[in-house]
Structure formats: structure tokens, C-alpha cells
Amino acid sequence: MVHVSPLWINRKQTFPRLKENINADILVIGGGISGVSAAYHLAHKRKRVVLIEKNLIASGTTGRGTGILEPGFEMDFVDMVKIYGLRLANKFWRTTMKSLQEIKTVIKRHKIACDLENTGSIMFASQEKEIPLLKKDALLRIRNHHSSKLYLHEDVGKIVNANVPAIMFSSIEAIFNQEKFVVGLARHCAKYMQVYEETPALSIYKTQGGYRVKTPHGIISTHAIILTAYASGMKFLKSKHALSHDICYEIATKPLTKEQLRSISWRKGHCIWPLGRSYDYIRLTKDKRLIVGGEDSEIALNKQRSEKHFRRLQNFLIRVFPQLYDIEIDYKWTGTIYLRKRDFPELGQKGNIFYSFAQGGHGLLTGFYGGHLLAHLALGKLDKDFRVLTG
Ligand SMILES: Cc1cc2nc3c(=O)[nH]c(=O)nc-3n(C[C@H](O)[C@H](O)[C@H](O)COP(=O)(O)OP(=O)(O)OC[C@H]3O[C@@H](n4cnc5c(N)ncnc54)[C@H](O)[C@@H]3O)c2cc1C
């Protein structure tokens, strides 16, 4: 039977529920990658910090994702330059690259077991006629100091045994288990602050000295708030920002047999996606499952439509790896991403509420770095990267 739940989330409650009234200097609302990063960057700052999460830490969008750490936007570099201009595209790329380096440093520093692998990534041409565009993308990347290398026709097999005429390999991207990372980081935070699960913020009232935040079993009085509660954050702010949202679909196969693994000869399990549709992707997990994702739809869920999207993902997988025609699917799930018009996340300040939402489909790096920048902002420091990250 196929599990209809994210592959990553199978943890019981780790952190307590709030059961009393407490005081804080800074309250972080939302325990996804953005909120936990903000809490982490406040952990040594001699402030009383409290983090509350409505459900379990990393059980929101963060725990529903694919765990691909990819600098830039989810698109070809040629498109990125076309849409945002070379200067902004490069600046954004460098900022998200910084986030990737920081995540790696944090994992190493705190020995967080989260299956991080520096795999790099592959972008492929689906047909011969796409090869010139792939070459153009590779050239533009090289000129702008993003490493990449092309493999054509029979040389593709040196990297992966996929049914495609050309690939571009980039060595920068990484993959990890984002749920383990965020929970590991929250465990570290809990040494320095109070971390609560199953503690939703129900309402926020302005008081003379700050804010009063109501939860089901306790009130938190705080000077400042970092609000990273995704869509419900907008409700508290009464924000009228124009956001769109997409439903994203994912499937995960059963662990591949040795024979199946040999047949695709995919040594490093890089994330792999087609040119022009970087929302479609395949990655290999530590326990040798393939996750396929990226079938997105603006239309609300309904069972019939969902099945069509899940089937399309399976067909995509078999097109790239025809040798896996009989592969069995073990998990399928969906998640919602919120997007601002220009793909950049929404970060800002209203009174002493510092907010972040709409991290989009590439939000692990922007969310982590956004949390870092919000922590600084709450301490009175506006980082120069703030404008780059928000476009
Ligand atoms: C299917 C899918 C695949 C993806 N794959 C990737 C990928 O490979 N790489 C990548 O970079 N990005 C990916 N993303 C996007 C990425 O996961 C998100 O952009 C990122 O996780 C957003 O993190 P966040 O902390 O801002 O939000 P969230 O993780 O949603 O965190 C917000 C938290 O706030 C909590 N909350 C809400 N209301 C309240 C309240 N009232 N009180 C307290 N807590 C509250 C929620 O429960 C939630 O845990 C993917 C997304 C999806 C859906």
C-alpha cells in the first residue's frame, strides 16, 4: 500500500507544549527552516528567546520538501538573467550560495546527522534540439564563475545512465534530509531557549511594551516577534501582499535493489532536472529511494486531479530511466508553496514584528538565510544582503 504522507516526517513530539504564561524578549512563531534559523541566530545573544510551533518542528512546508540545496532560483541561468538582469541574478546567486555554505558550517559545527551529501546537480536536454540552449546555459554559468561541465551523447553515461542526449553537470548543489536538519538545529536551540511544539499562536495583541501572544494554554508577553508562520503569518499582519500559491506533488519509490541501482549507474545521486522545467526533478535518498517531484498546480486538490499529477511524475521518471519501468511507488504527498510575484521571498518589519513568508519552491536556502537576516534585524542591524534576498 502506498503511504499518503511525506517520506521524512515520522517523529513523535520532542519538545513540550506551553502550559503557562511566560515572558520573552523575542518570540519566534513558526518552526520551519526560517523560524528555527532565526532562533539559532539569536541563541547566543543574551536575549530571552522563545520558539513556538503549531504542530511539530519541521512538519510544515519544510518537512514536505525534497531537500535539494540549490543556489539561485529554480530555473535555468539563462532565464534567470533574462528575467532579473545579470547583476541581480548574480547577486542573488551569491547570496543563496552564502546560505548553502552557512548550512554546511552549521551542520559540521553541531554534528547534525542529516544525510548531507555534496552531490552537485545535473540539468539535461530532453531532445537534441535543446542542446544549443543547454550549451548556452553552461557557457553563461562558466563566464559568471558558476562551475559547470557538459556531457554529450555517449559521454552522458560517465555520470548517469539516463535516456537523454546531453547533460550539464554542476558540482555546487547538495542534498540533505531537511527535517533532520531543522529538528537537529532546534535541539541545539533548546539548550539556550524555550522551544515548544503543539503550541499555536492564536492571536497577537499590541501592548504598551510590546505584544501579547495567546496560545491555547498560556500567554507570551514579548518585546518583539519574528513571524515565520507562512500563510497564517499574513493573517496576523493583516497583510494584503499579492501572493500566489501552488500545490506541489511528490512521489518516493521503494529503495532500489542493487541491480536497479547498477542499471542507472547513478553514483552520486545528484538532483537531476530537465532544461526549461526545473520544477521537475529526481533525487536519490540515503536509503536509495528515488524522489520525484515538481508537478505543480494552482488548482485546489481533488482526488482525481491528484492521481493524474502523481501518475505524470511516475511517467517522467520512466522517461528518464526506462530501465525502471516496473519501479514501485512507496510514498506520495503534496505540499503548498506561496510565491511573491517576482519569486523573491517577502521579508520585512511592521512595528516590532519581523516577518518572512513566501519562500517559494527554492526556500530552503532563502528561508535559512532569511531567518539569519531577520534575527539581525530584530537586534537592530540591517544587513546589506537584505535587499538582495528580497529583490
Ligand atoms: C513539495 C515541495 C518540495 C520542495 N522542495 C524544495 C527543495 O528541494 N529545495 C528547496 O530549497 N525548497 C523546496 N521547497 C520549498 C521549501 O520547502 C519552503 O520554501 C521552505 O521550507 C519554507 O520554510 P518556512 O520555514 O518559511 O515555512 P514552513 O516550513 O511552512 O514553516 C512555517 C511553520 O509555521 C508553523 N505555523 C503556522 N501557523 C502557526 C501559528 N499560528 N503558530 C505557530 N506556528 C505556526 C507551521 O506549522 C510551520 O511549521 C519545497 C516545497 C514543497 C511543498
What is the tens place of the pLDDT at every residue in 236-285?
A: 887 766 677 888 899 999 999 999 999 998 877 778 999 887 678 999 99
Give the residue whose CA is nearest to atom 17 of ligand 1. Answer: 62
Beta strands 121-125; 290-297: pairing state = unpaired
Atom nearest to 36 CA in ligand 1:
25
User: Is there an atom of ligand 1 within 6 Å of 371 CB?
Assistant: no
Q: Which of 181, 182, 176, 175 is nearest to 32 (CA)?
A: 182
Best of 62, 70, 119, 239 for a ligand 1 pocket test (most atoms within 8 Å of beta carbon): 62
> Quick one: average pLDDT of 172-188?
96
User: Is there an atom of ligand 1 within 6 Å of 363 CB?
Assistant: yes
- Report how far Cα 123 is from the mean position of its chain's Cα atoms: 19
Single-letter code of the amino acid located at 178 = Q
What the block records as the C-alpha cell of 180 is: 533532520
Question: Could you report how far apart the first and last alpha carbons of the chain are, in Å?
Answer: 44
> Quick one: average pLDDT of 153-158?
93
- Please tell me whether the overall predicted TM-score, pTM, comes out greater than 0.85 for this model: yes
What integer pLDDT is reported at residue 381 of this predicted model?
93
Report angle CA 229, 235, 241 to the nearest 5 degrees. Answer: 95
What the block records as the C-alpha cell of 39 is: 532562533
In Å, what is the CA distance from 188 to each residue of 165, 195, 349? Answer: 46, 10, 27
- Report how far Cα 291 is from the mean position of its chain's Cα atoms: 15
Dist CA 84 CA 105 (whole Å): 29
Give distance in angstroms: CA of 168 to centre of ligand 1: 29
Are the C-beta atoms of 66 and 293 separated by less than 8 Å? yes
- Of all residues in the chain, the percent with pLDDT exceeding 90 is 69
What integer pLDDT is reported at residue 362 of this predicted model?
84
Burial 16-32 (b: 16+ CB within 10 A, else e): eebeeebebbbbbbbbb
Atom nearest to 230 CA in ligand 1:
32
Single-letter code of the amino acid located at 222 = T
Indicate if the pLDDT at residue 330 is higher than 90: yes
Give the residue whose CA is nearest to atom 27 of ligand 1. Answer: 32
Give the residue whose CA is nearest to atom 25 of ligand 1. Answer: 32
User: Is there an atom of ligand 1 within 6 Å of 60 CB?
Assistant: yes
What integer pLDDT is reported at residue 298 of this predicted model?
64
Angle (deg, nearest 10), helices 77-84 and 131-143: 70
Between 362 and 269, the higher pLDDT residue: 362
Q: Which of 171, 128, 169 is nearest to 149 (CA)?
A: 169
User: Is there an atom of ligand 1 within 6 Å of 173 CB?
Assistant: no
- Point out which residues pair with 13 in neighbouring strands: none
Are the C-beta atoms of 35 and 228 separated by less than 8 Å? yes
Atom nearest to 356 CA in ligand 1:
26
Beta strands 22-29; 218-227: pairing state = parallel
Indicate if the pLDDT at residue 192 is higher than 90: yes
User: Is there an atom of ligand 1 within 6 Å of 279 CB?
Assistant: no
In Å, what is the CA distance from 263 to each residue of 112, 154, 160, 314, 336? Answer: 32, 15, 9, 18, 34
> Quick one: average pLDDT of 54-68?
95
What the block records as the C-alpha cell of 358 is: 513566501
- Of all residues in the chain, the percent with pLDDT exceeding 70 is 97
What the block records as the C-alpha cell of 378 is: 530584530
Between 269 and 223, the higher pLDDT residue: 223
Q: Which of 166, 163, 136, 170 is nearest to 153 (CA)?
A: 166
Give the residue whose CA is nearest to atom 9 of ligand 1. Answer: 68
Give the residue whose CA is nearest to atom 18 of ligand 1. Answer: 363
Average pLDDT of the chain to the nearest whole number: 91
Spatial neighbors of 225 by CB under 8 A, at least 6 apart, are 26, 27, 28, 29, 204, 211, 213, 352, 353, 354
Give distance in angstroms: CA of 119 to centre of ligand 1: 23
Give the residue whose CA is nearest to atom 21 of ligand 1. Answer: 62
